[in-house]
């Protein structure tokens, strides 16, 4: 597929004609990269097995990793067996927005989409371009993040083009994703409901809707299959080897400085990922700041693009500071840990999986 068509479009300047082409394309089995408020997605008709298979192929994604379906309204009864009260409350509180809800699926959703599971993840994105394409398509859109499997998610159109040009039929969007981090995933097919992937919507936000909601201790599970299959794979990772440093800020600075020296002596190109207050402290080849260390939202917004910038610079090691643990930083720390592979020890670096 050398002929990927690109429609550049911003949310405040939507081209209805192009939306129509994209929506029709989806219904007819084509693949479309499109913006959402979290990250860009690579979408296809969720009800069409062959279309969905194209997504797995384009991303190089393992087929045991289920896709999230994206809908344009709150009437999801067509796709799921039951909408329990807790799901209704969550939908009312957070849709459209960055919350994916796992429910028992109906047969209309093919097993390819759910990767053989009896459940399906559903979300209604807030981004207008996304919602308009789904509306025109008149089918739900299965869409994982628009990146080659394992790489940091794409948060602007250039990164979609970099990873997926020639592998999909259409790419649309333009500017940076509003949030920049994937949706929070909550499984309400079990009781108590459990958060399978931390995201922009925090556990505290969710507990306001229902006290019983818990966080799945994915890192604690050694033998059991993780409940969000995607969380077991190498994920969000730059090409460089990344090391995450935790603890007292001054000690972290000292440790990073020592390691920069060691690595440079061995001839490696070294990058540092830090915050605004320390960005002039390190004598590395490349230094990027995630902003103020207390401004979590800004860090979340910059994370994936910054990881990709290290790759652009052909950095071989990224030495990264970490955020202080809090309700708000759970999600970004989760992604930093996955990118640095230091928590999930059973993941091998050479695994090209997601």
Residues of this chain that interact with Mg ion (CB under 5 A) are 145
226-285 binders of ligand TXA (CB under 6 A): 227-231
Residue carrying the six token digits 């505290």: 204
Nearer to Mg ion, 83 or 157 (CB): 157
Point out which span in 89-97, 114-122, 236-244, 294-302 binds ligand TXA (CB under 6 A): 114-122
Residue 67: φ, ψ to 5°: -105, 155
Extended strands (E) in 58-183: 68-70, 99-104, 119-123, 141-142, 170-173
CB-based burial, 267-283: b 16+ in 10 Å, e otherwise: ebbbbbbbbeebeeebe
Q: Are the CB atoms for 203 and 217 separated by under 8 Å?
A: no
Nearer to ligand TXA, 186 or 296 (CB): 186
Nearer to ligand TXA, 117 or 139 (CB): 117
Nearer to ligand TXA, 169 or 182 (CB): 182
Binder among 4, 31, 45, 119 for ligand TXA (CB under 6 A): 119
Output the smallest distance, CB 195 to ligand TXA, in A. 11
Output the smallest distance, CB 299 to ligand TXA, in A. 17
Point out which span in 168-176, 223-231, 266-274, 290-298 binds ligand TXA (CB under 6 A): 223-231
Q: Tell me which H or E stretch contains 350.
A: none
Residue carrying the six token digits 């949310």: 11
Point out which residues pair with 42 in neighbouring strands.
Answer: 33
Q: Are the CB atoms for 307 and 236 separated by under 8 Å?
A: yes
Point out which span in 119-127, 263-271, 275-283, 303-311 binds ligand TXA (CB under 6 A): 119-127
Output the smallest distance, CB 296 to ligand TXA, in A. 17
Residue 10: φ, ψ to 5°: -105, 160
How far apart CA 149 and CA 218 sit, in angstroms, is 20
How far apart CA 246 and CA 274 sit, in angstroms, is 12
Burial class (CB in 10 A: 0-12, 13-18, 19+), 265: exposed
Output the smallest distance, CB 144 to Mg ion, in A. 5
Report CA dihedral (138, 143, 146, 151) to the nearest 10 degrees: 180
Residue 229's binding partner, choosing from Mg ion, ligand TXA, none, with beta-carbon cut-off 5 to 8 A by kind?
ligand TXA
**# of chain residues touching ligand TXA (CB under 6 A):** 29
Stretch 16-55: interaction string toward ligand TXA, x if CB under 6 A = --------------------x-xx-x--------------
Q: Are the CB atoms for 183 and 206 separated by under 8 Å?
A: no
How far apart CA 213 and CA 201 sit, in angstroms, is 13
Q: Are the CB atoms for 68 and 99 separated by under 8 Å?
A: no
Point out which span in 94-102, 210-218, 242-250, 313-321 binds ligand TXA (CB under 6 A): 94-102
173-192 binders of ligand TXA (CB under 6 A): 182-183, 185
Q: Are the CB atoms for 83 and 76 separated by under 8 Å?
A: yes
Binder among 76, 134, 143, 330 for ligand TXA (CB under 6 A): 143
**Residue 121 DSSP one-character state:** E
Q: Are the CB atoms for 234 and 349 separated by under 8 Å?
A: yes
Residue nearest to ligand TXA (CB): 230
Binder among 23, 25, 66, 271 for ligand TXA (CB under 6 A): 66
Nearer to ligand TXA, 66 or 271 (CB): 66
Nearer to ligand TXA, 167 or 227 (CB): 227
Residue 185's binding partner, choosing from ligand TXA, Mg ion, none, with beta-carbon cut-off 5 to 8 A by kind?
ligand TXA
- 145 belongs to the binding site for ligand TXA (CB under 6 A): yes
Where on the chain is the footprint of ligand TXA (CB under 6 A)? 36, 38-39, 41, 65-68, 98, 100, 102, 114, 117, 119-121, 143-145, 182-183, 185, 196-197, 227-231
């Amino acid at each position: 597929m050398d002929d990927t068509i690109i429609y550049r479009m911003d949310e405040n300047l939507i081209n209805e004609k192009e939306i129509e082409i994209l929506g029709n394309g989806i219904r007819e089995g084509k693949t479309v990269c499109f913006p959402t408020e979290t990250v860009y997605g690579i979408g296809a008709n969720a009800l069409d097995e062959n279309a969905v298979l194209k997504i797995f192929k384009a991303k190089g994604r393992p087929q045991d990793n289920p896709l999230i379906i994206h809908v344009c309204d709150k009437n999801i009864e067509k796709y799921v067996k039951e909408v329990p009260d807790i799901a209704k409350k969550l939908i009312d509180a957070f849709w459209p927005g960055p919350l994916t809800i796992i429910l028992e699926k109906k047969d209309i959703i093919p097993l390819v989409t759910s990767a053989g599971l009896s459940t399906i993840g559903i979300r209604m994105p807030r981004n207008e371009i996304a919602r308009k394409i789904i509306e025109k398509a008149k089918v739900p859109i299965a869409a994982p993040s628009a990146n080659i499997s394992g790489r940091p998610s794409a948060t602007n159109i250039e990164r979609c083009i970099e990873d997926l040009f020639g592998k999909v039929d259409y790419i649309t969007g333009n500017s940076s994703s509003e949030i920049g981090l994937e949706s929070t995933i909550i499984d309400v097919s079990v009781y108590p409901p459990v958060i399978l992937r931390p995201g922009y919507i925090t556990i505290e936000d969710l507990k306001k809707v229902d006290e019983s909601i818990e966080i799945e201790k994915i890192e604690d599970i050694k033998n059991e299959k993780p409940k969000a299959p995607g969380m077991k794979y190498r994920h969000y990772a730059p090409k460089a080897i990344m090391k995450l440093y935790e603890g007292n800020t001054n000690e972290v600075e000292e440790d990073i400085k020592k390691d920069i020296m060691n690595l440079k002596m061995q001839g490696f190109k070294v990058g540092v990922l830090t915050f605004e207050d320390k960005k002039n402290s390190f004598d590395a080849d490349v230094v990027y700041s995630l902003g103020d260390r207390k401004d979590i939202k800004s860090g979340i917004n910059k994370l994936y693009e910054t990881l990709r910038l290290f790759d652009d610079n052909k950095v071989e090691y990224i030495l990264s500071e970490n955020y202080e643990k809090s309700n708000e930083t759970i999600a970004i720390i989760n992604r930093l840990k996955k990118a640095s592979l230091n928590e999930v020890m059973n993941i091998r670096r050479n695994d090209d999986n997601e």
